[in-house]
Amino acid sequence: MILKKFFCFILLFLTLTACKHDPLDIDISTTSVQIGFTNLDSLLYNTNAEQLPELRKELSASISDIFDYQIGYCMRIGRVHDTAFVNSILQYRADTSIIQLEKEIASQFSDLSKYKKNLALAFRYLKTHVPDAKIPQQIVFQNSLFNSSAFCTENEIGIGLDQYLGAQSPTIKQLPSEPFYDWMKKGFDRNYMERDAVLSWILTHILPEVKGNLAEEIIYHGKALYLTEAAMPSAAKHIITRYSEKDLKWANENEYSFWKYLVDENMLFKTDERNARNMLQEGPFTSGLPEKGPDRLGQFLGWKIVKNYMENSKTTVEELINTPYNEILQAYEPE
């Protein structure tokens, strides 16, 4: 009798586990990617004045879009072909606030090898899942002067090292409270660097943009986070969602309540831009919901809905990209 119960238990266990599959469990051993890495920040700050014209020529050829973005938008010293380029760089490097910022960046990011390895690995995973996916040719480390954490061009990703110095950095502490609110400073965490770069690339080059009702936008962001998770399967879930562990725990515990709120308020199929911003954009919390909860709960819910769908279907990560949002939504079973 005991033996019979044991076999019944094993059969039930196998039946339940057979219903789920893990589409993130793949072999990347035969996939390779070729990505170059450039420390643009170090080059601009440390190159001798006599060599700056030649450096400008080299960077204009190798990473033209990011270089133009760095000089023209972040540093605001004119286009890269401006004849005053050398003097502008020297004046930039002589600024006392820049000197402090550059010292912190050089100290905290003296060795970028770990980030390069993790990023190359992430794009190997992404390429394995989506063989036709566009992959960056160059990943460029820069000092964005607090303009962007990750900026994508047609072939490059620019990563603003200044955005990952940490909330306790002397430079970050000195930033004005407006527009650099405390919740923003808490997000200047290096643990999110690779995640931000991969997600930015996915949103720019992999997922087709949507402009629909709230449900469609929630699923869109859920797909983006799931693709990021597929590229970084070993990353902690709170890294993928860009939450603290405490915030992720709160979000998981209140998943059903948030879903019920959206349903009860008939918000899912409305095209109200204000509601979409409240549910999806960064902030101190999700507007309209308890302030003890985290921001971007719409993105979190989208991720959970997509995960639920992927675990209970035979859909591949590549197929997910163009799977209609309503098909994914209809399969959702909130916990």
Per-residue pLDDT of the chain (335 residues; tens, 9 = 90+): 554 554 444 545 444 444 566 889 899 999 999 999 999 999 999 999 999 999 999 999 999 999 999 999 999 987 777 778 999 999 999 999 999 999 999 999 999 999 999 999 999 999 999 999 999 999 999 999 999 999 999 999 999 999 999 999 999 999 999 899 999 999 999 999 999 999 999 999 999 999 899 999 999 999 999 999 999 999 999 999 999 999 999 999 999 999 999 999 999 999 989 999 999 999 999 988 889 999 999 999 999 999 999 999 999 999 999 999 999 999 998 87
d(C-alpha 312, C-alpha 310), whole Å: 5
Q: What is the pLDDT of residue 16?
A: 45
Q: How far is CA 167 from CA 143, 157, 162, 189, 247, in A?
A: 17, 24, 11, 7, 17
Give the helix ranges, DSSP H, for the chain: 2-18, 40-46, 52-62, 64-68, 85-94, 96-108, 113-129, 170-174, 182-186, 193-201, 214-231, 237-241, 245-253, 255-264, 273-280, 297-311, 317-320, 325-330
The model's pTM is 0.92
d(CA 319, CA 69): 34
CA dist 247 and 203 (Å) reads 24
Q: For residues 241 and 191, what is the distance between their CA atoms, to the nearest angstrom? A: 12
For residue 36, the cross-strand partners are: 138
pLDDT of residue 15: 46
pLDDT value at residue 211 = 87
The predicted pLDDT at position 14 comes to 47
Nearest to 109 by CA among 200, 173, 190: 190
